[in-house]
Structure 1
Amino acid sequence: MDKITKSLLDSFASENELGKLGEDKQFEHFANFAVISKLHRSSFELESVSTGAGGDAAIDGIAILVNGKLIEDVEELDDIVGEAGHLDCDVVFIQSKTSSNFEGSQIGSFIFGVKDFISDAPKMVHNEKLKSCRAIWDAIVEKSAFMVNRRPACKLFYVTTGKWIGDQNLVAVVTSGRREIEESGLFETVSMTPLGANEIQKYYHETRNKLSATINFQSRITLPDIEGVKEAYLGVLPYKDFMSLVQDENDAIYNIFYDNVRDFQGENEVNKKIKGTLAAGNFELFCVLNNGVTIVATSLTPAGNRFTLRDYQIVNGCQTSNVLHGSQAIAGIENVHVPVKIIVTEDEEIKNEITVATNSQTEVKAEQLEALTVFQKKLEQYFAAMKGDGKLYYERRAQQYHSSPGVRKTQIISIPIQIKAFASAFLMVPHAVSGYYGTIVQRFKGQIFGQDHKYSPYYVSALCYFRLEGLFRNGIIDVKYKKVRFHLIMLARMIGMGVELPALNSGKMDRLCDTFAKTLNDDGKCADLFRAAVEKIEEADFDLTQKQFKSETETMKLIDLFDAN
């Protein structure tokens, strides 16, 4: 391995606390992270895409991306497709070797493993992760009626530390394998990309860059000077240019709506009307009937009519963006012009004010605005104020800490993780946290991100998650218990804070959480706490051969153990 790749690998391993793993396994995670981050602009857990172990069918990483989101279980797929009404899928396969050579036999084994994975009846031995991914893939195929824009795209990446020189024999292996996968008829496109040291280094460096896009913004006016705003424009964008902001080169929608107060609402009345206007061919009316899209960027570089936006979010227009994305097959759609407002600012308070002020086309209740703007901002500040071993970073916006020096990836708590950890610890529903996190919030509406909630329960539930993951990494808690990690978080909270809880808005809750955080930040006490939680799992006689634990009955068994004692 060359010195530059080795240096990047060491840095990556340190940031992700992978020091106990061998170099080969570190490189697998490194390659998976670099490749998938190029295709998916949001944080994800390394283990959620790692398949490299016994029974991996020569596949070290898999990412199944649906409508711009990384899918980890069938329930999440159902939630996302059910809301959107369409299914755009990219399935990514990765094989990585620390070898400096590209070997035809290994490339062939990788291709064979992929062909077997997508076959009607796989013959190769699959580990638990591959079986889980296969279940998701089967569910995707069953939902082919929702593939209104395109069939899935299949992307294979073979990564080494060497140099790809286009050897004729290796090119023949790659070409033949790609054609065989194409012959399955399952995919819109199939690509096979060999990555050597130079390419994987470039991919990794790109993970540090913010999302950027270039548009032709000819029909615009410049808005007057606004305090705190570098520049602002109002105008219309041709359909093609607008879509370049919201989807990648494979027509997969970006995950750029984190600052939006709502996720895509699916087939509600407003969205039906938008799609109806398009389906009727009234393209010229779209511009005057639609309230438009508001885009906030950190920086903008103009070159005549060509504007390059960097680190941008759509803070209003999630519904419009998704409907337009799902209408690509409509003949003449390229004639649509989209009203847009582009605001360039680094001021977070101004971003929040814009978000609240511009979200009016679809009914939004005041508590929703509060929950996903002011509450989220204050929760981020609360995390930032905490010191010591329990220092965590609340990722309110996608990739906001990707290039922050001194921030280990393990310290970053994403919104989905926060919701699942809090619901497990304080709502005591670990069985109900599978699926898309937006659906989980709806399921427990009014119980998560309450305006008057203390921030401490959110922090300690995230700290529980962080500390438990560290115990898994260091071999203190057996990784076989990882499939019940949210049950362990609930149990740890019950052991550490008691079964009965004060109100989430009370001072007593703050005091209890403060004491609990001290326990979690003491290495010895924390390990003992989770060992006690594991004992409860064993006492309840959980069958750890199960893939998932979604039954309320299992949760109640654990709670009843405390009543019995």
Structure 2
Amino acid sequence: MAKNDKILIDGIIDEKVELKIPSDKRDEVFEYFVFEQLLKDYDLSKDEILFGSVDGRNDGGIDGFFIFVNGHLLTGTEKFVWPKSGSVLELWIITCKHHDTFKQAPLDNLVASISELFDFGIENEHLQGDYSEELLLQRNNFKLAYRKASSKLTSFKLNFYYASRGNTEELGESIISRANQLEKLAIDCFGNCVTNFFFYGSTELIDLFRKKPNFTLELPFSDYLSSGETYILLAKLKDYYHFISDQNKLRRYLFDSNVRDFMGLNRVNEDIRNTLENENSPDFWWLNNGVTILATNAVIVGKSIQIQDIQIVNGLQTSESIFRYFGLGAKDSNNRSVLVKVIVSNNTANRDEIIRATNNQTTVELSALHATDKIQRDIEDALKLNDFFYERRTNYYKNQGITPDKILTPLYLASGFVNLILKSPEQATNLKARFMRNEDS
């Protein structure tokens, strides 16, 4: 570890403490920072990060409990779109300590908890340890996700993380032994899983912090048509895969939050997969509508297009299907193509209209479809006058570098409305993300 990495981390935490992200307590700020950095590729909102946080009294040594199904965070089971086949299940168990070294005690606590929390034959009321309601809720969600996905699993990963301000090059043998024990415990409970234990110290956290989303990318193409600032491209499937991925991970930040939910292998996506797998089929773009990209600028350079401020607003099903196909090491010997439409516009109203029109063609979060309503834009404009930014589209301002203390979410405003206008502070305190999935809400 570089000598100054710990000083750099402390400086970052100092700044976030002043901004109260998410509070003014150093250990809570460090914990949130760790969650934010480790889960950066999932492009989670503040509400989603806080949902996975189970730190507190009776947390069993677990600070973060995050469940992902096909790359999407499981925040509620009632209206979650479960994949019909081809399920990818991931569980992230995160322990954060604002210590300047890695210690064995947190892992001892974790071993004791995991040994029974992962035993689904034990009902919650018969668990030996005392566990918080938040942790037990996540255990129930994980248990349900495992049951729902077990017959369709193509990949199951259990990831353990222990983060501190320490040096990963100075881990003691007893600590490494405990980490190995945790991996074995997980495998004993779930024989069909891939289990890994990762240590993140100051150096690793600094490296993650410096990794920024790239919204300006280059896409090679084989042919194109243009009219004004609109471009219709034919891009090779493999080139498009590299365009939407980074080190075999989907660049989720490229997809506008209004179109985040991959529908699993439903009929349409099964057709897409079958077309990809059948190299004797007609060219891919003959059978697929392709994708639509919104941008603020695009320039043709030779046989490629450089696109700025990318938001893929239509074609998530197609994109994820292509990503999953090539992500498993598949080839495309026929060099088939996907149709890509690039629309350059800096007009906010036009962009919102395009997003709403394209999003309405598939099942999306109800609240996302209201993001472009006039009242939502009015709230956004009113708050801007007072130097606040209304996140009517998830992570829109976060991705522009606006600090979290200046960002207000629809759920935050809903809580304020229920508290101050409807005079129901108790209900306001308990509002969760699922509240926004109801038309009346």
Deviation at 1:27, TM superposition (A): 2.0
Deviation at 1:492, TM superposition (A): 5.0
The corresponding residue for 2:190 is 185
The corresponding residue for 2:158 is 154
Instruction: Find the aligned partners of 2:382 and 2:353 in 1 and give their Cα distance.
Output: 26
8 Å Cα contact 1:28/1:96 also seen in 2: yes
Change (3 A) 1:109 1:216: farther
Residue type of the alignment partner of 1:139: L
Residue type of the alignment partner of 1:154: L
Match of 2:201 among 191, 196, 199: 196
Deviations 1:379-427 (A, max 9, x none): 55312321499865332444221255664347331xxxx4xx5xxxxxx
Instruction: Find the aligned partners of 2:142 and 2:250 in 1 and give their Cα distance.
Output: 17
Q: Report 1:497-536 matches (<5 A).
A: 529-530=423-424, 533-534=425-426
Deviation at 1:299, TM superposition (A): 6.8
**What secondary structure sits across from 1:10 in the alignment?**
helix
Instruction: Find the aligned partners of 1:3 and 1:51 in 2 and give their Cα distance.
Output: 28
Change (3 A) 1:408 1:320: closer
Deviations 1:346-385 (A, max 9, x none): 624464565578x5xx9949xx9xx978961745531232
**What secondary structure sits across from 1:9 in the alignment?**
helix
Deviation at 1:159, TM superposition (A): 0.9
Instruction: Find the aligned partners of 1:388 and 1:262 in 2 and give their Cα distance.
Output: 26
Q: Report 1:538-557 matches (<5 A).
A: none
Instruction: Find the aligned partners of 2:195 and 2:227 in 1 and give their Cα distance.
Output: 49
The corresponding residue for 1:376 is 372
The corresponding residue for 2:223 is 221
8 Å Cα contact 1:155/1:191 also seen in 2: yes
Change (3 A) 1:269 1:191: closer
**What secondary structure sits across from 1:28 in the alignment?**
helix
The corresponding residue for 1:42 is 44
Deviation at 1:135, TM superposition (A): 0.4
The corresponding residue for 1:94 is 94
**Residue 56, structure 1, aligned to residue 56, structure 2:** no
The corresponding residue for 2:147 is 142
**Residue 402, structure 1, aligned to residue 401, structure 2:** no
Instruction: Find the aligned partners of 1:30 and 1:262 in 2 and give their Cα distance.
Output: 23
Larger helix proportion of the pair = 1
8 Å Cα contact 2:237/2:338 also seen in 1: no
Deviation at 1:139, TM superposition (A): 0.5
Change (3 A) 1:147 1:306: farther
**What secondary structure sits across from 2:222 in the alignment?**
strand
Deviation at 1:161, TM superposition (A): 1.1
Instruction: Find the aligned partners of 1:3 and 1:211 in 2 and give their Cα distance.
Output: 27
Residue type of the alignment partner of 1:81: W
Instruction: Find the aligned partners of 2:352 and 2:208 in 1 and give their Cα distance.
Output: 32
Instruction: Find the aligned partners of 2:191 and 2:406 in 1 and give their Cα distance.
Output: 36
Q: Report 1:424-503 matches (<5 A).
A: 463-465=413-415, 467=416, 489=418, 493-494=421-422
The corresponding residue for 2:81 is 80
Deviation at 1:137, TM superposition (A): 0.8
Instruction: Find the aligned partners of 2:114 and 2:292 in 1 and give their Cα distance.
Output: 41
Instruction: Find the aligned partners of 1:493 and 1:187 in 2 and give their Cα distance.
Output: 51
Instruction: Find the aligned partners of 2:115 and 2:74 in 1 and give their Cα distance.
Output: 21
Change (3 A) 1:246 1:108: farther
8 Å Cα contact 1:210/1:311 also seen in 2: no
8 Å Cα contact 2:72/2:261 also seen in 1: no
Residue type of the alignment partner of 2:235: V
In the alignment, structure 1 segments of 5+ residues that lack a partner are 422-461, 469-488, 495-528, 538-543, 551-565
Change (3 A) 1:58 1:86: same
8 Å Cα contact 1:90/1:155 also seen in 2: yes
The corresponding residue for 1:8 is 12
State the number of aligned residues.
416
8 Å Cα contact 2:52/2:64 also seen in 1: yes
Which one has a bigger Cα radius of gyration?
1
The corresponding residue for 1:312 is 310
Deviation at 1:74, TM superposition (A): 2.3
Q: Report 1:346-361 matches (<5 A).
A: 347-349=346-348, 351-352=351-352, 355=355, 359=358
Deviations 1:436-474 (A, max 9, x none): xxxxxxxxxxxxxxxxxxxxxxxxxx5342x48xxxxxx
Instruction: Find the aligned partners of 2:314 and 2:360 in 1 and give their Cα distance.
Output: 13
Instruction: Find the aligned partners of 1:30 and 1:387 in 2 and give their Cα distance.
Output: 26
Instruction: Find the aligned partners of 1:177 and 1:264 in 2 and give their Cα distance.
Output: 32
Percent identity at matched positions?
Answer: 19
8 Å Cα contact 2:22/2:32 also seen in 1: no
Larger RCO, structures 1/2 (Cα 8 Å, 6+ apart): 2
8 Å Cα contact 1:215/1:242 also seen in 2: no
Instruction: Find the aligned partners of 1:388 and 1:281 in 2 and give their Cα distance.
Output: 52
The corresponding residue for 1:65 is 68
Instruction: Find the aligned partners of 2:181 and 2:266 in 1 and give their Cα distance.
Output: 46
**What secondary structure sits across from 1:152 in the alignment?**
strand
Deviation at 1:49, TM superposition (A): 1.7
In the alignment, structure 2 segments of 5+ residues that lack a partner are 436-441
8 Å Cα contact 1:24/1:97 also seen in 2: yes
8 Å Cα contact 2:283/2:336 also seen in 1: no
Instruction: Find the aligned partners of 1:205 and 1:331 in 2 and give their Cα distance.
Output: 29
CA RMSD, Structure 1 to Structure 2 (Å)? 4.4
Instruction: Find the aligned partners of 1:18 and 1:331 in 2 and give their Cα distance.
Output: 40
8 Å Cα contact 1:52/1:59 also seen in 2: yes
Residue type of the alignment partner of 1:200: L
Instruction: Find the aligned partners of 2:224 and 2:182 in 1 and give their Cα distance.
Output: 52
Match of 2:292 among 280, 291, 294: 294
TM-score of the aligned structures, taking structure 2 as reference length: 0.75
Instruction: Find the aligned partners of 1:113 and 1:171 in 2 and give their Cα distance.
Output: 18
Deviation at 1:220, TM superposition (A): 2.3
Deviation at 1:205, TM superposition (A): 4.0
Deviations 1:511-548 (A, max 9, x none): xxxxxxxxxxxxxxxxxx45xx54xx7xxxxxx9xx99
Deviations 1:293-341 (A, max 9, x none): 2233557799987888665322221232344456679996745734132
Instruction: Find the aligned partners of 1:237 and 1:256 in 2 and give their Cα distance.
Output: 19
